[in-house]
Chains A and B, each alone.
Chain A
Amino acid sequence: MTEENKLASGNLSYMATVRAIVWKDLTMEWHTGQILSVMLVFSLTAAIIYNFALYGSLAAARDASTGFLWVTILLAGTLGLNRSLMAEQENRSLEAILMAPIDRSAIYVGKVISVIIFTLAMEAILVPIFTAFFNKPFWRPQVLFILILGTIGYVAAGVLITSMTVQTRTREVLLPVLLLPLTLPVVLAAAQVTAAYVAAVPPEWSEVQFAVSLVVAYDIFMVTAGFLTYHYVVEE
């Protein structure tokens, strides 16, 4: 049985539903590569542009590199979210899933997990590239940690918002308008922490404490909000 048939049959438990959705997304991506290819092409092009934008001043480029990294994640993320959730629209696979009596939040959790995986995959490629281009230690474990934390919050908000915008007329245009302001708090805070940990002297915990707590608090809030309200976004 394909994953969709399994889902539509209504025989799955909550966790099995989540796993089925994640597996469905991953296998589809393995075969088509739509999502990652778009995200990677965009982010690599962007990285090259940044490099040449500040060609004149190496120091300025290095200082701005953290900002560049997070802007790239932010923008490539909207592309990935769009692709991932529009694929559901186009294939009408969501309708099949919705016919089964599964709690809608399971769909949300499944989509969040799969998009986080895709985004982290992209970031895994960006980190060495940015480290090489800008000569800054983005590979430091604290940086990786905050990248993961920030991505969680970003995707949690992203899946919720994108699920709404794909149902509107203006879709791709509307998504950045809605998602960018909403995710600025977590992205700005995470960028601040990233900048602190790629600096020559690693920061004291007290310096980054507030920003990290903000990211964690945002993550918890967004995942909860999405979990509780997703039902109203997909139900007609």
Chain B
Amino acid sequence: MAERIDRMNLNRIVPILNWAAGIMILISLVVIFFYAPVESTMGNVQRIFYFHVGGAWVAAVAFFVALLSGVFYLRKPAKIWDTIAVGSVEIGLVFTSMTIVSGSVWGRPAWLTWWTWSPRLTSITVMWLVYVAYFMLRGAIEDEDRRSRFAAVYVIAGFVTVIITYLSIRLLRDIHPVILGEASETAQGLQEFSGIDSGKMVISLNVSVLTFTVLYLTWLANRLRLQRLLDDAAELKTRVMTRLQQQ
């Protein structure tokens, strides 16, 4: 499988994905602002929700892909798995940051505070920190194989923070609303907004999630191509060095 991914013609795939992502973003913005209904207790600011949730969901997917890549790398080392892991963690961090920041801005009018150390916000911050630390681990190891190996072990262990974050969102009574599933758990005035089972909101949410998924794949493809260029450059550099040494 590693060889098949390696051989993919990224130079053709990347531009296609770039266009697809751009179009999807435009479509989703139209859907969110013109198709989705106005929420009755919060008004238009609730529209942040669509990308907030989309980002959170795709971040989890990205970190899961990183975990899978780590497992594949450990079973049979191939550079492509390491690259997919690095790319996925980078992109996962971007989406997580987007989620945290958008949630904070939305929280200000909704709960009258920019931040609170509730279990869910705490756990997503911890998740963010764990994956930032991933890059410190990589930076501290010079040997390529060891770096990839340790990084793989780390993304596997670190995934516990993803599980905890998403579990706490679903299971805990918290200022942060439960969106899907039983509404009875956190129904408390502003914390649960009305009409989420309204079909239009669900469709808009799905469109956002799809958009972010395409965006993830696009960024990943770009990152893979970048790595290929970096590898080519490294190879050329060694050739130049050997030439210089011969002279």
Interface residues of A in 70-113 (CB under 8 A from B): none
- Specify which chain A residues have a CB less than 8 angstroms from the CB of B74 in the assembled complex: 229, 232
Instruction: Answer yes or no: B240 CB below 8 A from chain A CBs.
Output: no
CA gap between A18 and B18 in the complex, in Å: 53
CA gap between A188 and B161 in the complex, in Å: 12
Is B150 touching A233 in the complex (CB atoms < 8 A)?
yes
- Specify which chain B residues have a CB less than 8 angstroms from the CB of A160 in the assembled complex: 153, 157
Main secondary structure of the interface of A (DSSP, over half): helix
Of B122, B152, B163, the contact of A221 (CB 8 Å cutoff): B163
> Measured between C-beta atoms, what is the minimum distance from A89 to chain B in Å?
14
Instruction: Answer yes or no: B115 CB below 8 A from chain A CBs.
Output: no
Is A177 touching B133 in the complex (CB atoms < 8 A)?
yes
- Specify which chain A residues have a CB less than 8 angstroms from the CB of B150 in the assembled complex: 164, 167, 233
CA gap between A119 and B127 in the complex, in Å: 26
- Specify which chain B residues have a CB less than 8 angstroms from the CB of A184 in the assembled complex: 126, 129
Which of under 10, 10 to 19, 20 to 34, or 35 or more describes the interface residues of A?
Answer: 20 to 34
Interface code A141-178, partner B: CB below 8 Å = 1, 0 otherwise? 00000000000000001001100110111100010011
With CB as the reference atom, state the residue of chain A lying closest to B161: A185
Question: Given A177-B136, A233-B153 in contact, is the A225-B141 Cβ separation under 8 Å?
Answer: no
Instruction: Answer yes or no: B31 CB below 8 A from chain A CBs.
Output: no
B: number of interface residues (CB 8 Å): 30
Is A168 touching B171 in the complex (CB atoms < 8 A)?
no
Of A188, A210, A226, the contact of B157 (CB 8 Å cutoff): A226
With CB as the reference atom, state the residue of chain A lying closest to B160: A221
Interface residues of B in 85-141 (CB under 8 A from A): 122-123, 126, 129-130, 132-133, 136-137, 140-141
Is B130 touching A225 in the complex (CB atoms < 8 A)?
no
- Specify which chain B residues have a CB less than 8 angstroms from the CB of A225 in the assembled complex: 156-157, 160
What are 24 pairs between A and B in contact, CB < 8 Å?
A160-B157, A164-B137, A164-B153, A168-B137, A169-B140, A174-B137, A177-B136, A178-B133, A178-B137, A178-B154, A181-B129, A182-B157, A182-B160, A182-B161, A184-B126, A184-B129, A185-B126, A185-B161, A214-B167, A217-B164, A225-B157, A229-B74, A229-B157, A232-B152
Top 5 nearest A-B pairs by Cβ distance? A181-B129, A168-B140, A181-B130, A229-B153, A184-B126
